Structure 1
């Protein structure tokens, strides 16, 4: 059976924008519940400056505190060497670096140009590879930027190709503000796959305008088989007015199973986890499937 690799982003991208600090015990339980659902790839932590993202200040404790399930990759976001070293010390199985297709977004988000961000990643990838740890690359704003508007597919392809040539084993393409539509998503992917093999590309779509599932379906039709998602639709972008978070894992799994695609994820358990974490955070469940599911 044809299968799709799912990368669960809830514990990192999902929680990092929560206004109230989430206790480490809740984060640890969330990661463990997601592993029990069948996710084989979970981004569990972020080793960025705690001054910028205080929600992730306890990432070392989270990574060292989880009960690890055999066969699950527990990854962490690491923007620089200091972050990488902390992630490795905490036992991260895989790490990720991030930049953007938009110059202005890159300047506002990580205070440097796209070219400078790529230069900064070189020593990170070198050390990670020396330690036998794979590095994932994220490209933000691939279908739109809050400062520059629409982004040319060629610009996305240039950045994605540069990350791949640096040594990133997988490139995740992020519609950070959720403005993309299927036609634009297909045009973007068509350009990027000229620089990076399709089997190394992932879609990371936010659902601000309700287009994420339609965009994912369009890329599945093109052969893409790696998707990032977040339980209960957790997350959001501080640079996008009205952003509603990442596409919900429950909705993605429901779509994929309906298409006859294998995910390895137990949807009943996932729905229960989404309801549980929404209750812990005191927020509405962002998954339509999670709200409607009766098992």
Structure 2
């Protein structure tokens, strides 16, 4: 069997929170269904935050309810506090993601708590999880781990110390997020190696942005040092509304192509993934969608890592008329 990576689709949460318009619920459900049909087996479907802060995600409980009917899908939701965790568990999610900022300035802007207060909140969430739903996963994404547009440099020693604290507080895994797109491949290799040395099996996913064009290079750097779980967003939607200049998640379509072309199995079918892109565009007409592979198509002779041949129709035909 070829090497395998997990592609965790975050567009329905990270992508939609950064779009000014609200994707109607029916379109959200159709989009999540199409992403699952493409072979994605972990999707962050929304977040449990006050509707006044992110009205685009006010219907997350309904999306969770639908996503739970899709076979083999791990349904993930972001929760910034104990109240959100309680609501997510009640809705039936399979995994909670808690954002903890490595940058002190970003922590206050994003969740209105200090880093220390967020570690305490995580400890309460872990206790709630243990009491109500021990089968639910609990992961932490360390936001702004590679730099912050509000604070500037984020010392690596502080990132690693914070990772150790969140594991001690009860997180099953802790990943590193390039929230503001400031990372470079050398930094990614160095910091993930340090994370692995510090927390061992608790080292988690790479959540990398393409703000300055280094998203795929940084994903490859993380893979080179043993990372096997990657967050990405269909069409590159997303960013952080509380970090100025934070735009551009890694494009799921391009990331899948990168790994499959290298012989690394993702389980994702690119033609069906592009079909999901069309579903998204119907719900958000005129919204800019990004990605090189959907525009260029698959090269002659392309085969998937497991030896499958792609569908006969050119990929570009499936994206005709899409921006």
Return the offset for 1:155: 1.4
- Contact 2:172–2:202 (CA<8 Å) still a contact in 1? no
In 2, Cα distance between the equivalents of 1:28 and 1:200?
A: 31
Return the offset for 1:154: 1.4
TM-score (norm 2): 0.87
Return the offset for 1:243: 4.0
Name which of structure 1's ranges 272-281 and 112-121 shifts more when overlaid on structure 2: 272-281
Q: CA 1:152/1:66 → structure 2, altered by over 3 Å: closer, same or farther?
A: same
Equivalent in the alignment of 1:27: 28
Deviations 1:186-220 (A, max 9, x none): 12112222222267321001110010101111111
In 1, Cα distance between the equivalents of 2:188 and 2:83?
A: 34
Q: CA 1:271/1:41 → structure 2, altered by over 3 Å: closer, same or farther?
A: same
* Structure (1 or 2) with the larger CA radius of gyration: 2
Equivalent in the alignment of 1:271: 274
Equivalent in the alignment of 1:189: 192
Return the offset for 1:8: 0.8
Equivalent in the alignment of 1:95: 96
Equivalent in the alignment of 1:68: 69
Q: CA 1:157/1:67 → structure 2, altered by over 3 Å: closer, same or farther?
A: closer
Task: Please show how residues 5-84 of structure 1 align to structure 2 within 5 Å.
Answer: 5-66=6-67, 68-84=69-85
Return the offset for 1:93: 1.3
- Cα RMSD for the two superposed structures: 1.6
Return the offset for 1:81: 2.0
5+ residue gaps, structure 2 = 298-313, 316-323
Q: Tell me the number of residue pairs that the alignment of Structure 1 and Structure 2 aligns.
A: 295
Equivalent in the alignment of 1:261: 264
Return the offset for 1:175: 0.2
Name which of structure 1's ranges 170-179 and 57-66 shifts more when overlaid on structure 2: 57-66
Residue 163 of structure 2 is aligned to residue 160 of structure 1? yes
Equivalent in the alignment of 2:310: none
Return the offset for 1:170: 2.0
1:151 to 149, 154, 168: 154
Return the offset for 1:167: 2.0
- Contact 2:78–2:97 (CA<8 Å) still a contact in 1? yes
- Contact 1:199–1:224 (CA<8 Å) still a contact in 2? no
In 2, Cα distance between the equivalents of 1:84 and 1:146?
A: 28
> Partner of 1:284: helix, strand, or coil?
coil
- Contact 2:122–2:170 (CA<8 Å) still a contact in 1? no
Deviations 1:215-274 (A, max 9, x none): 111111111111001111111223455544210111110000011111111111112212
In 2, Cα distance between the equivalents of 1:198 and 1:187?
A: 17
